Amino acid sequence: MTSLADKAILSGVDNRPPMLENDMYDSWKSIIELYMLNRQHGRMILESVENGLLLGLTVEENEVTKPKKYSKLSATEAIQVDYEVKATNIILQGFLPEDYAFVSTHKDIKELWERIQMLKQEMSLTKQERECKLYDEFDKFAYKKGESLHDFYLRFSPLLNDMNVEIF
């Protein structure tokens, strides 16, 4: 009999892309690209991410541009849309619920990919800025004349705690 843990191991990485950690965008990007390439027709999936939809899949009716209905697409267009859906699914599966809301509204896979890159690089920069600020505070931290050891500790311990949280 197979246990739940065995089933989880068997389902493994081949069936689910890696989760995106906040400060690990670059490594996640390369892993997710390899994951896409490892899927059936992976090159086409990855090209839809890098280039977006290559064909104009819209129709103009009454001076309003609308997307074509799936049933009205040619075979080539339908395949292209299918690959874009697969790529979107792969990327969104790698998101934590709190990050999903930031990117789920993007319908075009290329825009989604660019939004993820911008979002995660901003977070990384913000983390670096916070880290630099903490190091500056640490460098400037000094004993105040007449301060008790207890008061010194009360000022110093939050700084150390913040440094542990931010850096590790």
pLDDT at residue 166 above 60? no
Between residues 35 and 15, which one has the greater pLDDT?
A: 35
With respect to residue 75, please indicate whether it lies within any of the assigned structural domains.
Answer: yes
With respect to residue 156, please indicate whether it lies within any of the assigned structural domains.
Answer: no
- What digits encode the pLDDT tens for the residues 25-83? 777 778 888 888 888 878 888 887 777 765 556 777 777 777 778 788 888 888 888 88
With respect to residue 146, please indicate whether it lies within any of the assigned structural domains.
Answer: no
Is residue 159 within 8 Å of 137, Cβ to Cβ? yes
Can you tell me the distance from the alpha carbon of 107 to that of 161, in angstroms, rounded to the nearest whole number? 41
What is the pLDDT at residue 168? 46
Query: Domain total for the chain?
Result: 1
What is the pLDDT at residue 14? 54
Considering the entire predicted model, what is its pTM?
Answer: 0.52
pLDDT at residue 120 above 80? no
With respect to residue 140, please indicate whether it lies within any of the assigned structural domains.
Answer: no
Domain limits at 79?
A: 14-125
pLDDT above 70: percentage of residues in the chain: 70
With respect to residue 159, please indicate whether it lies within any of the assigned structural domains.
Answer: no
Q: How crowded is residue 86: how many other Cβ atoms within 10 Å of its Cβ?
A: 19
Can you tell me the distance from the alpha carbon of 33 to that of 30, in angstroms, rounded to the nearest whole number? 5
